[in-house]
Structure 1
Amino acid sequence: MMTTRIYKEVFFEATHRLIHYQGKCFRLHGHQWRVEVWIEGTPDERTGIVLDYNTIKEVVGRFDHQVILNEADPMAECIEKFHPVITTSGDPTSELLAGLIAEMIDAMAAQQGSDARVAKIRVWESASSYAERTYVRQ
């Protein structure tokens, strides 16, 4: 069986804050986030495609122009009155978002009947700072 790796880079704009952080990131602020995803899988016999790049773009796009807050953040309920809020099970750090986005991509691929899975993901919250997760698949 042949495994192939593909790569996709996607950008999104979003606001977040870290309620457990001592410093300026405790305040609501925004970033242009950059997500790099490496996917491994078996190319489809008919199309030759491991996973449609648009699938990755669609998953990451769910975060574009959103407010992302810890579900325990009291600000979430206030903002929700005016704008949808994406809540996370912890502070929405680049580390947490890397894991969340990877899980979402894997779930979408499985839903499409593909064996494609995230092998590596980087979530950049600035031009000089990113979190990276790598996965070893059996």
Structure 2
Amino acid sequence: MPGIFEISVEEQFSAAHALRDYPGNCEHLHGHNWAVRVTVECRELNEIGIGIDFREVKQTVREALHRLDHINLNELPPFQKANPSSENIARHLYLELSGKLNRDTIRVSRVRVSETPTSSATYRED
């Protein structure tokens, strides 16, 4: 059975959100310094032994996070009906990044979004 290489990058962004219908303080507008970890699977290495260049993954992640940085996430179209929870942010980023990074032998395998150093949500598809 052939092996799979996983490479991961971590980036951050700062944004505000409010969780609609949440029974507690998080229903009020508040902010986080979010940490995002993106893991990409590579089934093959190129001629110099690289599955996908870290620079490409980092740049693609930075571009996606730039659109989320320093805003109220509730105002973005993907979160006007769905709460901008860590879970939904992770899914949103997974889908966006998959559309840009996935190829024949490369695919985004999971996206983890952390609100705090001890609280995170991960989205992946089988």
Q: Tell me which amino acid in the other structure corresponds to 1:105.
A: L
Superposed CA RMSD in Å reads 2.2
Q: Tell me which amino acid in the other structure corresponds to 2:10.
A: E
Q: Give, in whole Å, the separation in 1 of the partners of 2:83 and 2:71.
A: 15
> 2:14 — aligned with what?
13
Aligned with 1:32: secondary structure?
strand
Whether 1:131 aligns to 2:121 is yes
> 1:122 — aligned with what?
112
Q: Tell me which amino acid in the other structure corresponds to 1:99.
A: R
Deviation at 1:42, TM superposition (A): 4.6
> 1:99 — aligned with what?
91
Q: Which moved more, 1:2-11 or 1:124-133?
A: 2-11
TM-score (norm 1): 0.74
Percent identity between the two aligned chains: 28
Aligned residues: 119
Q: Give, in whole Å, the separation in 1 of the partners of 2:45 and 2:63.
A: 20
Q: Tell me which amino acid in the other structure corresponds to 2:25.
A: K
Q: Give, in whole Å, the separation in 1 of the partners of 2:105 and 2:95.
A: 14
* Unpaired stretches in structure 1, ≥5 consecutive residues: 70-84
Q: Give, in whole Å, the separation in 2 of the partners of 1:43 and 1:59.
A: 26
> 2:40 — aligned with what?
39
Deviation at 1:23, TM superposition (A): 0.9
TM-score (norm 2): 0.80
Q: State how 1:67-82 maps to structure 2 within 5 Å.
A: 67-69=72-74
Q: State how 1:15-30 maps to structure 2 within 5 Å.
A: 15-30=16-31
Q: 1:105, 1:117 within 8 Å by CA — same for their partners in 2?
A: no
Aligned with 1:104: secondary structure?
helix
Q: Give, in whole Å, the separation in 1 of the partners of 2:116 and 2:31.
A: 10
Runs of 4+ in 1 over 4 A off after TM superposition: none
Deviation at 1:44, TM superposition (A): 7.0
